[in-house]
Amino acid sequence: MHKAPVLVVLAWSALGGLARAEDVAPTAPAERGLASPGDETVLPQYPPEASRVGSGRRRRIDGGATFLLMPLGRGNGYYDLALAYGIGVSLGSPVFRGLSLGLAPQLLFNIRHQDDARKQYDLMARIAYTLRVAARFAVYGEVLPGYSIISPSRGDSARGFVIAAGAGGAMDLTDRVFANASVGYQYGLQSLWIDSTQFFERDSFLRVAVGGGMRF
């Protein structure tokens, strides 16, 4: 009769010990949502740019204006021309990384030999390759083929092929505004016909361009 209370006490003690053991038992790594030391699962990593709003936007058009100095001019390869100067505009769009195509017409003044000062209209395309060398600075090379018209104050105009080439640098002033400068060479093959006779008005210059523009 005295053994029953003793067995009841021992049973309750055993159950209490098991309950305390379960309370202090460490939770398995999987149950805590943590990877175990042997788990080689790699969580996906995303670049910081993916979380930026509008990070995929690409501007497709560059527009600019340029002041031109044209020293060391030569006419027909043998006589000197006065210092010419002018203005130009450009509009271009990237084809793929680094390469862009566009238009770059320009107007030159003081195309002068002796007392005859003329104007020159150059309707040019622009092919440029740009290499970014720093966060806000890039270097570029350009080729500008086109069609040229030399217009005198009176008389007929000379017309013909013109080409320019040069190299320069561009600096970003803001995210959209930039300044640029380049040095190159320009050569024209203009000529005109008078009474079935062809007269050449070929000219060549050192080409210095300083300007700026905006990306759209």
With 90 as the cut, is the pLDDT of residue 22 above it? Answer: no
User: pLDDT digits over 57-111, tens only?
Assistant: 556 899 999 999 999 999 988 899 999 999 999 999 999 889 999 999 999 999 9
With 90 as the cut, is the pLDDT of residue 11 above it? Answer: no
Mean pLDDT across 122-133: 97
Give pLDDT, residue 50: 37
User: pLDDT digits over 206-216, tens only?
Assistant: 999 999 999 99
User: pLDDT digits over 32-44, tens only?
Assistant: 444 445 555 555 5
Tokens of 46: 């995303």
Give pLDDT, residue 37: 53
With 90 as the cut, is the pLDDT of residue 157 above it? Answer: yes
Beta strand residue intervals within the chain, DSSP E:
62-70, 74-75, 79-80, 84-96, 99-103, 106-113, 116-132, 137-151, 158-172, 177-194, 197-200, 203-215
Give pLDDT, residue 17: 54
